Amino acid sequence: MPLLEARALTRRFGSFTALDGVDFDLRAGEIHAVLGENGAGKSTLMNVLSGLLRPSTGELLIDGQSVRFASPADANAQGIGMVHQHFLLVPPLSVAENLLLSADKAKGGPLSWPLKSVLTEAQALAKSLGWSLPWDALAGSLPVGTQQRIEILKALRGQTKILIFDEPTAVLTPTETPELFATLRQLAAEGKGIVFISHKLDEVLALSERVTVLRRGKVVARLATAECDAGMLAEAMVGSNLSPTPLPDSCSSLGKGAGGEVLTVQNLTLGKLKNLSFSVAPGEILGFAGVDGNGQTELADCLSGMRKPESGEIRVGAMRLSPAPKAVREAQIGVIPADRQKRGLALSMTLTENLTLGVQDSPEFRKSIFLNAKALRARAEQLIQRFDIRTEGPESRASSLSGGNQQKVVIARALAGEPKVVIAVNPTRGLDVGAISYVHTALREAQAAGAAIVLISTELDEVLTLSDRVAVLFEGKLRGIVAPETPREELGRLMGGAAA
């Protein structure tokens, strides 16, 4: 009998379904990986399993008994502990105080536990794992790997037999990762069930016995790790879903090579990204496919002027691009950033204000040192019309819009000035089908108007549907540039690291 079982779990946020009929089971003594791209629903599933979120429908069972969790503390009392993606320690408190605080929350009383007994239990656990921890040091002063160990102690307290790790290696240094893996293996050997979330194929292959692959909230594969390779996992992760829409005629007739290269990238190197070179012609969409975490973020950051490359250069026409958002705007590059809420929008500001960002310095919208409010508002109204933004009006706050309409604001700003180059990063993440098709049409229109477009997306279908050429990144290097008609299995292999 599985230690933990989920049956037909569904979780909706408003009209969006983040988990859709998910079945999952965890055995005692196994490390079970949950793999999926960003936005696949991994954290949502774990938050349901650990009592942080309630399922919309579906059932959870522990040792074959149906259970319901009112809170994480409740789940913890029933044997489930979770180590979150973002740590929940209080930085100015000591390690011991942090443990006491969380112990007390679990018991529900105001500081009713004696510090000493909490500490004794934690110290015994730490010793069994071979750790020596600075109990009196302030949590905020410790290396991330040590902070994570404190989180593990918190999750392990009491009768915990199920431990969930949400992307635990994302924050670790290369030397801390093997240490964490050793801990996970030891805990599994002691008979605990471990759920390990990741979007990194090599980690999943190295650590787990079984893999459940999530895509858009659904389980798309259940595999025994020993029978998998990276290519199979990559393919399962990015498999088919969106139905491709045919290109409008205007695009295919323009397209490749219509007038020399606009965007040229040479030997770009930053962090994971190594010596990347490519170029994009006017009216062309070059799509980057690859499992997330293979250099896409670095590439997007360089192309949008957010970070300075360690070496290499980016040219628009003959002009060398400086690493600054302002230089990017001046070079007529429109950016659709990955995270619309953090980088794309000022949520508490109005649509007019949001749409003004980027044009505030142009003479058209300035009267001496003041902004020309009337002109800006008129422009916002036009853009709301043109980009079909469903809102009460230009004075509505960005936070009041649905996700799809927020993304239209971001796109309006990126595409309004008829840019020469467009950088689109996961432009449809988290959107529903209608909004996705809108975004795709907007990109095709920019393409038809002659823009050179770089599309970086973890949605393989999106890349294949929109791109004229498909570049595959693996571990920061270009594995090849192939035609979008390339068979999926072949792409999966490239994404898993095979040479083109």
Q: Which is nearer to ligand ADP, 401 or 453 (CB)?
A: 401
Per-residue tokens: 440:
């795709």
CA separation, residue 321 to residues 50, 72, 127, 337, 434 (Å) = 47, 49, 54, 18, 35
Q: Which is nearer to Mg ion, 167 or 298 (CB)?
A: 167
CA separation, residue 492 to residues 203, 232, 235, 277, 429 (Å) = 17, 7, 5, 22, 20
Residue 41's binding partner among Mg ion, ligand ADP, none (Cβ under 5 to 8 angstroms by kind) is: ligand ADP
Per-residue tokens: 184:
């996970």
Can you tell me the distance from the alpha carbon of 101 to that of 124, in angstroms, rounded to the nearest whole number? 18
- The window from 7-15, 40-48, 51-59, 439-447 that contacts Mg ion (CB under 5 A) reads 40-48
Least separation in angstroms between residue 62's CB and ligand ADP is: 22
- Give residue 137's identity as a one-letter amino acid code: A
Least separation in angstroms between residue 256's CB and Mg ion is: 37
Phi/psi class of residue 458: alpha, beta or left (left: φ > 0; alpha: ψ in -120 to 50)? alpha
Least separation in angstroms between residue 252's CB and ligand ADP is: 32
Can you tell me the distance from the alpha carbon of 165 to that of 405, in angstroms, rounded to the nearest whole number? 33
Least separation in angstroms between residue 185's CB and ligand ADP is: 24
Phi, psi angles (nearest 5°) of residue 24: -155, 145
Least separation in angstroms between residue 430's CB and ligand ADP is: 3
Beta-bridged to residue 162, according to DSSP, are 80, 193
Least separation in angstroms between residue 44's CB and ligand ADP is: 3
- The window from 43-51, 53-61, 138-146, 490-498 that contacts Mg ion (CB under 5 A) reads 43-51
Can you tell me the distance from the alpha carbon of 325 to that of 342, in angstroms, rounded to the nearest whole number? 15
Q: Which is nearer to ligand ADP, 84 or 444 (CB)?
A: 84
Q: Which is nearer to ligand ADP, 43 or 406 (CB)?
A: 43
Q: Which is nearer to Mg ion, 88 or 357 (CB)?
A: 88
Q: Which is nearer to Mg ion, 42 or 479 (CB)?
A: 42
- For position 391 contacting Mg ion by CB under 5 A, the verdict is no
Q: Which is nearer to ligand ADP, 44 or 352 (CB)?
A: 44
Residue 71's binding partner among ligand ADP, Mg ion, none (Cβ under 5 to 8 angstroms by kind) is: none
Residue 18's binding partner among ligand ADP, Mg ion, none (Cβ under 5 to 8 angstroms by kind) is: ligand ADP
Least separation in angstroms between residue 166's CB and ligand ADP is: 7
Site size toward Mg ion (CB under 5 A) is 2
Closest by CA position to 271, among listed 303, 294, 305: 294
Least separation in angstroms between residue 16's CB and ligand ADP is: 6
Closest by CA position to 354, among listed 407, 402, 403: 407
Contact residues for ligand ADP, defined by CB under 6 A: 13, 16, 18, 36, 38-44, 430
- Rounded CA Rg of the chain: 25
CB–CB of 279/318 below 8 Å? no
Per-residue tokens: 74:
């409740």
Can you tell me the distance from the alpha carbon of 151 to that of 149, in angstroms, rounded to the nearest whole number? 5
Q: Is 434 exposed, middle or buried (0-12, 13-18, 19+ CB in 10 A)?
A: exposed
Residue 44's binding partner among Mg ion, ligand ADP, none (Cβ under 5 to 8 angstroms by kind) is: ligand ADP
- For position 43 contacting Mg ion by CB under 5 A, the verdict is yes
Q: Which is nearer to ligand ADP, 212 or 356 (CB)?
A: 212
Where do contacts with Mg ion occur on this chain (CB under 5 A)? 42-43
